[in-house]
Amino acid sequence: MTTKKANAKRLAIYLLIVFAFSILLIILRKPISSSETFYFFIAELFCASPAVASLITRTVTKEGFRDMKLHLNLSRNFRWYLLAFALPLICFSASKLIPIIISGHSDWLSGFTFGNILAVILMLAAQSAVSSVSLLGEELGWRGYMNQKMEPLLGTVGTCLFGGVVWGLWHFPIDIANYLEGYGTLSNSLETAFGRLILLVCFGVFLMWLTKKTNSVFPAVVAHFMFNMSQTALMSLLSQGNIPENADLGMIASVFEYVTMILLAVGFMTLLLYERKKAPKTP
Amino acid sequence: MTGLVYKEWKQNYWFILSMLICGAFPLLFLLSEKNGISDPAHINDGRSLGLIIGFLLAGGIQTMVLKGDDRKLWGYWITSTSDGFKGFLRVKYEMIFGMVLLFLFSLQMFDELFCAIAADIGLTEVGDISNIGLPLIFFQLLLRAIDIPFTLRYGNKKGSLIKLIYSLVFAIILSAMVLTNFCNISVILFDAYEKLFTGDHLSLLFGVFAVSVLVIYYLSYRISCRVYLKGVEQYDH
């Protein structure tokens, strides 16, 4: 079997397993809503499903467990770990704060004192060192396995786009959970899912670049953790300000929510293509 | 480096996996007692006690992974390899850090499971104890950052004794300073204590503490690198 065929087969098995876990959340909707304990087990399984799927695929296809990118490579890549920590925080800060400042509502930012900002940064730094490891369940699958198999088949740009869409679709059961439970409308749920899809496609480019640059999934784990936590941290600072209950920045907020991530994606896609061009060609 | 990781795993996998059990202690403690979960008044006492036991047990096990390598022959041999003793110590530090994370992961996971079980039997007022887990983990890392250089420099038995002596001397000096109010230290400590429990400073102080612990853990590795060969000279005596 050629390498391309073998990669396609491995990728297909991987995607089949990972989406089977994802669909479980929809199929088992009733027992999940009636039992917290059942929900706990299914949710844990769902979160770890990319890693589980990659391990099962490696076992089934007998390709072994090499190149799982589990080395920290910390000493050589410390600056990239710092980038993984800082960039999501900077991006989300820009996407939330710039619209507020542009619309002339700087008074809403009274929670952003030096002490509060320092506290948030230090807390995030500490948490990213010890709590981010829980995201290994995702990154071991997406960046540590799927991207590696996808890139020889679809190229770098194709992997970023299609890989991001796959990653976004995997979250789909979470996005429509509210609608299935009877809260909210289908259009709201689909809007959330589509918004997440755009953000994940864009952010996936950065994660792919990080993994390739450091040959480790751990910087991607830290960046993914910061992607999740930066938003919470910013919201906690915003909630300390004097924001009126019916505050609405309108279109500008929606635009900035995506603009920073799109710029990030374009920047790192360029870097990925440049580094690929620069890399020595293997026969 | 992969070889060293493999060696540590083969030698210590029971210790590493036992972190999962230590994290489950608050839940196991409740399950082992009659009416442990069904009696709401008893729940928090049982969980706290289980947490303390699990924390102490995990700490003890984390130091046990240093045993067995305090041999002169091993020390000289590992120094002569391409990774050197620095590579060996790095893997040890990374493994112990990993064990601490595994303990935290297990603690939080079993706590979530407990909360889910409690909610299913109608005990909705039970809160999670994961927030306590994070400060505990940093405290555990701080303790390991102190333990490891002592053990590597003086060997297992002697290292524990010397660490105990240093700790006692430190405690006596600090107590004497507080009692005599040397350099106004009592007031400074009392102010810091007051600030610690006022909302505004809690996260900042904890953030500073947590990041400092990470730096201290790294410095501990550098100190261990400096003292390791001196320690090897004294092993097997």
pLDDT of residue A283: 54
pLDDT at A4 over 70: yes
pLDDT of residue A175: 87
pLDDT of residue A261: 93
Contacts of A190 (CB under 8 A, 6+ apart): A175, A176
Locate the domains of chain A by residue range: 3-278
CA–CA distance, B21 with A55 (Å, rounded to integer): 23
Residues of A whose CB is below 8 A from B213: 126
Please tell me the distance in Å from B111's CA to the nearest CA on chain A: 11
Contacts of A12 (CB under 8 A, 6+ apart): none
Q: Is B123 on the interface with A (CB under 8 A)?
A: no
Please tell me the distance in Å from A42's CA to the nearest CA on chain B: 12
Q: Do B113 and A133 touch (CB under 8 A)?
A: no
- Contact by Cβ (8 Å): B85, B228: yes
pLDDT at A268 over 90: yes
If we measure between CA atoms, which residue out of B218, B13, B68, A74 comes closest to residue B78? B68
- Contact by Cβ (8 Å): A216, A82: no
Q: Do A122 and B211 touch (CB under 8 A)?
A: yes
DSSP letter for B36, please: T
pLDDT of residue B237: 63
pLDDT of residue A86: 95
- CA distances to A150, B96, B116, B117, B121 from A36, rounded to whole Å, are 37, 33, 5, 7, 10
Residues of A whose CB is below 8 A from B140: none
pLDDT at A113 over 90: no
Q: Do B211 and A125 touch (CB under 8 A)?
A: yes
- Span A205-240, pLDDT tens digits: 999 999 999 999 999 999 999 999 998 899 888 888
Question: Which member of B109, B204, B211 has the closest CB to residue A115?
Answer: B204
CA–CA distance, B2 with A265 (Å, rounded to integer): 34
Q: Is B19 on the interface with A (CB under 8 A)?
A: no
CA–CA distance, B102 with B123 (Å, rounded to integer): 28
If we measure between CA atoms, which residue out of A167, A160, A158, A137 comes closest to residue A53? A137
Q: Do B116 and A127 touch (CB under 8 A)?
A: no
CA atoms within 13 A on the CB side of B135: 12
Residues of chain B with pLDDT under 50: 197, 199
pLDDT of residue A162: 94
Longest dimension (CA), chain A: 64
pLDDT of residue B37: 63
DSSP letter for A216, please: S
Average pLDDT on A254-281 reads: 89
Q: Do A134 and B211 touch (CB under 8 A)?
A: no
pLDDT of residue B194: 59
- Please indicate whether residue A32 or residue A202 has the higher confidence score (pLDDT): A202
Please tell me the distance in Å from A133's CA to the nearest CA on chain B: 8
If we measure between CA atoms, which residue out of B10, B85, B14 comes closest to residue B235? B85
Nearest residue in A to B215, CA atom? A126
pLDDT of residue B22: 92
DSSP letter for A282, please: P
Q: Do B137 and A119 touch (CB under 8 A)?
A: no
pLDDT of residue B38: 64
- Span A13-62, pLDDT tens digits: 999 999 999 998 888 888 888 888 999 999 999 999 999 999 999 999 99
- Span B88-111, pLDDT tens digits: 999 999 999 999 999 999 998 998
Nearest residue in B to A71, CA atom? B2
If we measure between CA atoms, which residue out of B217, B58, B22, B24 comes closest to residue B138? B217
Q: Is B196 on the interface with A (CB under 8 A)?
A: no
> What mean pLDDT is reported for chain A?
89
- Contact by Cβ (8 Å): A227, A124: no
Question: For the stretch B54-87, what's the b/e string if a residue is b when 16 or more beta carbons lie within 10 angstroms of its beta carbon?
Answer: bbebbbebbbebbeebbeeeebeebeeeebebee
DSSP of A10-26: HHHHHHHHHHHHHHHHH
User: Hey, what are B100's tokens?
Assistant: 């601490």
Please tell me the distance in Å from B230's CA to the nearest CA on chain A: 25
pLDDT at A274 over 70: yes
pLDDT of residue A49: 94
Average pLDDT on A237-251 reads: 79
Q: Do A118 and B137 touch (CB under 8 A)?
A: no
- Span B57-66, pLDDT tens digits: 898 899 888 8
Residues of A whose CB is below 8 A from B115: 36
Model ipTM value? 0.86
Residues of A whose CB is below 8 A from B4: none
pLDDT of residue A2: 67
pLDDT of residue B193: 57
- Span A176-186, pLDDT tens digits: 887 887 788 88
pLDDT of residue B29: 78
Q: Do B211 and A44 touch (CB under 8 A)?
A: no
pLDDT of residue A204: 95
Q: Do B138 and A130 touch (CB under 8 A)?
A: yes
